[in-house]
Amino acid sequence: LRIDIAAPDTTRPSVPQDLTGVIETNGDVTLTWTASTDNIAVTEYIVLRNGVEISRVVDPTAVIPTPAPGSHWYQIQALDAAGNESLKTPSLQINIPTIDVTRPSVPQDLTGVIEANGDVTLTWTASTDNVAVTEYVVYRNNVEIDRVVDTTAVIPTPAAGSHWYQIQALDAAGNESFKTAPVQIII
């Protein structure tokens, strides 16, 4: 009687290669890499973030739901059916930007002057923001009529009558300040 005993599989899979990451428009991170090879078969990949396992996948791609803002280091490690682990990939740094949700302050001290030619010049004190104010929206009678980057707006001669002006600050993330109190200009 002859019994053949197969030698256990002790061969590590190769290290996954070419790890890349993309921050998607929805904030998720998509990682891709070149598949590992093994003497029998690679069965799955371990995805690590900052040295901690966060998921396991069977294909050489992983979608990480929106990570917290800040720097994260990703690595991939291949596994075979015998539990042999490849060495980890070199770390890939992905920087997740902080999402700006802070409104700019309300512009202050809105004043309006009717110029000799009939134009209206509006001036105000600049708003502040945790990042930066990018522009101001000018409203007349609650309707947007202009956008400017400075704290002055010249409105071509409006129609005769009473007009109410307001200013609103915007930042690059699209956060809007509250509008100023209305200032009445009678033409």
What pTM was computed for the model?
Answer: 0.57
pLDDT at 2 over 70: no
Q: What is the pLDDT of residues 88-101, one digit of tens each?
A: 999 999 998 877 88
Closest CA to 15 of 40, 53, 42: 42
Residue 4 has pLDDT above 80, yes or no: no
SS3 38: coil
Q: Are the beta carbons of 146 and 136 closer than 8 angstroms? A: no
Say if CB 36 and CB 14 are below 8 A apart. yes
Q: Does the pLDDT at position 14 exceed 90?
A: yes
Lookup: tokens for 5: 């005993």
Across residues 145-170, what is the average pLDDT? 96
Q: List residues bridging with 23 in a β-sheet.
A: 29
Mean pLDDT across the stretch 155-166?
Answer: 94
What was the pLDDT predicted at 3? 65
- Residue 5: the pLDDT is 66
Spatial separation of the C-alpha atoms in residues 72 and 75, rounded to whole Å? 10
**Longest Cα–Cα distance in the chain:** 115
Residue 175, strand partner residues = none
List all residues 6 or more positions away from 156 whose beta carbon is below 8 Å from its beta carbon: 119
* Residue 127 contacts residue 106 (beta carbons within 8 Å): yes
pLDDT value, residue 153: 97
Query: Residue 20 corresponds to which amino acid?
Result: T
Q: How far apart are CA 60 and CA 40, in angstroms?
A: 17
The more confident residue out of 100 and 185 is 185
